[in-house]
Amino acid sequence: MPATVVVGAQWGDEGKGKVVDLLAEGSDVVARYQGGNNAGHTIVEGDQVYKLHLVPSGILYPGTVCIIGNGTVVDPHALCKELDDLEARGLSLDTLRLSGNAHLIMPYHIALDGASEMKLGHFSIGTTRRGIGPCYVDKAARVGIRAQDLLDPKILREKLRVALVDKNDMLERLYDMPRMDPDRIADELIPAAERLQPFIADTALLLDQALRDGKRVLFEGAQGTMLDVDHGTYPFVTSSNPIAGGACAGLGVGPNRIDRILGVSKAYTTRVGEGPFPTELDDEDGRAIGERGHEFGTTTGRQRRTGWIDLVALRYAARLSGFTEIALTKLDVLSGFTRVRLCTAYRTREGEEIRDFPYHQSVFHNAAPVYEDMDGWSQDITGCQDIDDLPPAARAYVKRISDDIGVPITLIGTGQGRHEVIDQVGSN
């Protein structure tokens, strides 16, 4: 049975955790393919709130195999803390697996992330300061430390020594920061190495076996399309490929193993960190969206920037990943607006109206949204589970989005809870 990928369609925080949790009920395997603990995926189950950063959002279902793939970057200390927290809440970790090829975030990555953001000052990216970028840099530079290195303390020490030659120069000379001792880092890794060793596995092989056995497999993206290092709003992006194609490299599966690609988008737009955002609102509407949607970052607690839905960006995301379906989350947050706005095109500085996402950063930076207005709805739709129970204006809004993108909306979020969703609404 082919696999399903869940992809963020915007700038992250679209509600992927909730969607993966919903689909995980019918899945045998859930695998994360990129990113690290910059991600924060929320699952609300009754009165319990889970904020997952590295562990796949399938962990709430006992028996579901949860894989942290080779394309992720893993802070061993952060992962151990997350595992301790989950275990303390009574969850079993027996089915968790960590790719031996996943790269490890080391203390110097975190130090360099923070130092480079400070140095960039006004031009900073607004990273989560979790060391994500510097860790992917080392992976590409071939001086990274991988999960499998935790299995051999001698190799680990050797690699840390090599990696720190340049890093210590950078820390000291470029950023005026203290040098780091490789042996100390290795010593501090011993408890984490012992804790994580049993989880380390050849996860690409495991996935191949699962797919051959006809198991139902789910690939969980982190971040979102507009944060993709190749296709997003560079340089205001993360350092990996959240788009669906990233799942193949990030897990070691062929593209022909994937047949369902579910793009997750909010019914409006949010962004955390710096960078251009054409539909951003700095007015009462924006504040109302932020308040009703509780738009604060799951990982850093930062206030998220808010705006109307951007169909230009959504069409782009659908194209890049080949969405076969869309999950539209947080529709309930838009209740109470007398009119809702959809950005259908951009107007360039020269006055030209464009419908395709511009490849050139300056065009995007100066893009002004072209809006289409639709009637809003006053009825509270929180918890609604049937498309027929939505007010006609809300239904029309969903249909307008689906028609524009040319992709069916098969899930509609109507609240935080696991069951606050309209499922399988077909092609509207």
Nearest residue to 93 (alpha-carbon basis) of 199, 251, 218, 194:
199
Q: Which of 37, 38, 324, 414 binds ligand IMO (CB under 6 A)?
A: 38
Query: Is-contact 322 244, C-beta < 8 A?
Result: yes
Picked from ligand GDP, Mg ion, ligand IMO, none, the partner binding residue 332 (CB below 5 to 8 A depending on kind) is ligand GDP
Stretch that binds ligand GDP, among 12-20, 121-129, 236-244, 337-345 (CB under 6 A): 12-20
Q: Which of 130, 167, 231, 315 binds ligand IMO (CB under 6 A)?
A: 130
Q: Which of 35, 36, 40, 278 binds ligand GDP (CB under 6 A)?
A: 40
Q: Is 279 in the site for Mg ion (CB under 5 A)?
A: no
**Distance, CA of 344 to CA of 231 (rounded, Å):** 20
Q: Output 227 or 331, the one with its CB closest to ligand IMO.
A: 227
Site for ligand IMO in 273-332 (CB under 6 A): 273, 298
> Which residues, 6 or more positions from 26, have their beta carbon under 8 angstroms from its beta carbon?
216
Q: Output 70 or 298, the one with its CB closest to ligand IMO.
A: 298
Q: Which of 40, 100, 263, 369 binds ligand IMO (CB under 6 A)?
A: 40
**Distance, CA of 65 to CA of 170 (rounded, Å):** 40
Nearest residue to 22 (alpha-carbon basis) of 380, 317, 320, 262:
262
Strands 305-307, 269-271: parallel, antiparallel or unpaired by DSSP? Answer: antiparallel
Q: Output 233 or 402, the one with its CB closest to Mg ion.
A: 233
Q: Is 34 in the site for Mg ion (CB under 5 A)?
A: no
Q: What angle do CA 172, 174, 180 make, to 5 degrees?
A: 30
Q: What angle do CA 245, 39, 81 make, to 5 degrees?
A: 125
Q: Is 313 in the site for ligand GDP (CB under 6 A)?
A: no
Site for ligand IMO in 203-222 (CB under 6 A): 222
Stretch that binds ligand IMO, among 8-16, 201-209, 307-315, 409-417 (CB under 6 A): 8-16
3-state secondary structure of 364: helix
Q: Output 38 or 269, the one with its CB closest to ligand IMO.
A: 38
Write the interaction track for Mg ion spanning residues 296-335; mark x where CB under 5 A is met and - where it is not: --x-------------------------------------
**Distance, CA of 223 to CA of 247 (rounded, Å):** 13
**Distance, CA of 35 to CA of 323 (rounded, Å):** 20
Catalytic residue among 21, 28, 41, 53: 41
For the four alpha carbons of 389, 391, 395 and 401, in that order, the dihedral sign comes to negative
Q: Shortest gap between Cβ of 153 and ligand GDP (angstroms)?
A: 35
Catalytic residue check, 41: yes
Q: Shortest gap between Cβ of 129 and Mg ion (angstroms)?
A: 16
> Which residues, 6 or more positions from 217, have their beta carbon under 8 angstroms from its beta carbon?
1, 3, 4, 27, 28, 29, 30, 31, 207, 210, 211, 257
Residue numbers of the site for ligand IMO (CB under 6 A)? Answer: 8, 11-13, 35, 38-41, 125-128, 130, 132-133, 222-224, 227, 238-239, 272-273, 298
Active site residues per annotation: 13, 41
Residue numbers of the site for Mg ion (CB under 5 A)? Answer: 13, 40, 298
